[in-house]
Amino acid sequence: MRSLALLAAFTLAAPASAVSPDRTERLLAELADAPGPSGYEEAVRAVMVRELTPLADKVTYDGVGSVIAQQGTGGPKVMLDAHMDELGGMVRRITPTGFLSMQMLGGWLDQALPDQRWIIIGRKGPVHAVTGIRDVHVVPAEERTRVFPRDSLYLDIGARTAAEVEALGIGPGDPVIPDSPFVALPGGRYLGKAWDDRVGCAVVIEVLRRLRASGHPNQVIVAATVQEEIGLRGARTAADLIRPDIGIAIEGGITGDSPGRSPEETQAVLGAGPGLFLYDSSTLPNRRFVALVGDVAAAKSIPLQRDLVQGYGDDSAAIQATAGGVPTINLVVPARYTHAHNGIIDRADFDRTVDLVVALIERLDVGTVARIRSFAP
């Protein structure tokens, strides 16, 4: 009886922090849960267009599917970027016994892939799958700590034959996403997939909402881009159309506050405020722009985490290299465990990032942008 009582309590109890989610939490949940691996961003695009259209003067698209929403018709062109795609995969081939091989999309760690649940978006609807793993009872001792390469993994949907797979509406090229539903954790933290970069997508929506109410001296052009995880492609095509005077990328950052991390990897801490990248493997930010971010953060009493990160690329690199050169920065909402099935963000970091970006855009008038763009000695 005690076991049944415990089971009932576990099943019926609502998470303490998820009893009354506000608009922002609902938006974060919807964006995190939406399927959208690189090249298959339709569901995320629908959310972005729904949210951005009432806040923008016009909404257009580039030739690969990025959403471009413009607010304001005068002043400097400020490109505010967040990418819609997430790490995922696509079905490669179907074996005669009903297993599926998978082409990974984006920078997965091989050790993050075995024994994980996935959702395949087939032509007849979603199908649940798992990447198999060898049973510990038959794995030799010397192989038990080995990382198995991704090409040795197969999706198991419970089918017995290739014909059963095809009857479910699954075929080569169908997108695959992590099966990792959003959960509100205690203390204002959120667990979910795809914070890189659905958290950025939520930031640009909230920034445009705030700016619509307060006003600003610029043309703010939000670009919700595609295919960042496989080569920053949407940022490049969107920037070609926008031809911005200045660019701000909003990303999911990384943290170094969980056990076993070296401080040389990153020193960012969850809950300690937005991050500003001073270096990553794809770009160096404009130094005058970096200084302005620091000034604005200090003036608004917003904590700012400055970081240098190896092995990281972001859309600001593609924006920077268009239109003869664009001053850019990369601002991040810190996140634990990016490029894996599950990550954690802190709501306070999100809110402070919105505050910082709004205050920054309000400062980017004609004279300020001209000074940032000037390299005259």
Q: Which domains does the chain have, with CATH numbers?
A: 19-86+193-373 (3.40.630.10), 90-178 (2.40.30.40)
3-class DSSP state of 308: strand
- CA–CA distance, 19 with 304 (Å, rounded to integer): 31
- CA–CA distance, 354 with 351 (Å, rounded to integer): 5
Q: What angle in degrees, to the nearest 10, is found between the helix axes of 195-214 and 42-52?
A: 10
pLDDT tier at 13, thresholds 50, 70, 90: very low
How far lies 308's CA from each of 268, 287, 354, in Å?
10, 14, 22
**DSSP bridge partners of 79:** 221, 247
| Cα end-to-end distance, the chain, whole Å | 80
- List, for residues 30-88, the tens digit of each pLDDT value: 999 999 999 999 999 999 999 999 999 999 999 999 999 999 999 999 999 999 999 99
For the annotated catalytic residues, the residue numbers are 228
Cβ-Cβ contacts under 8 Å for 348 (sequence gap 6 or more): 188, 271, 273
- List, for residues 187-244, the tens digit of each pLDDT value: 999 999 999 999 999 999 999 999 999 999 999 999 999 999 999 999 999 999 999 9
9 φ, ψ (degrees, to nearest 5):
-65, -40
The predicted pLDDT at position 259 comes to 85
Q: Is the pLDDT of residue 2 over 70?
A: no
Q: Reading across the β-sheet that carries 183-185, which strands appear in turn?
A: 183-185, 189-192, 343-346
Q: b vs e for 236-248, b when ≥16 Cβ sit within 10 Å of the residue's Cβ?
A: bbbbebbebbbbb
- List, for residues 295-332, the tens digit of each pLDDT value: 999 999 999 999 998 888 899 999 999 999 999 999 99
Task: Give the position of tokens 């995969």.
Answer: 89
The predicted pLDDT at position 5 comes to 43
| DSSP one-letter string for 132-171 | ----TTTS-GGGTTPPPPGGG--EE-S-SSHHHHHHTT--
- List, for residues 157-166, the tens digit of each pLDDT value: 999 999 999 9
Tokens representing residue 350 in the block: 């999100």
Tokens representing residue 86 in the block: 């997430």
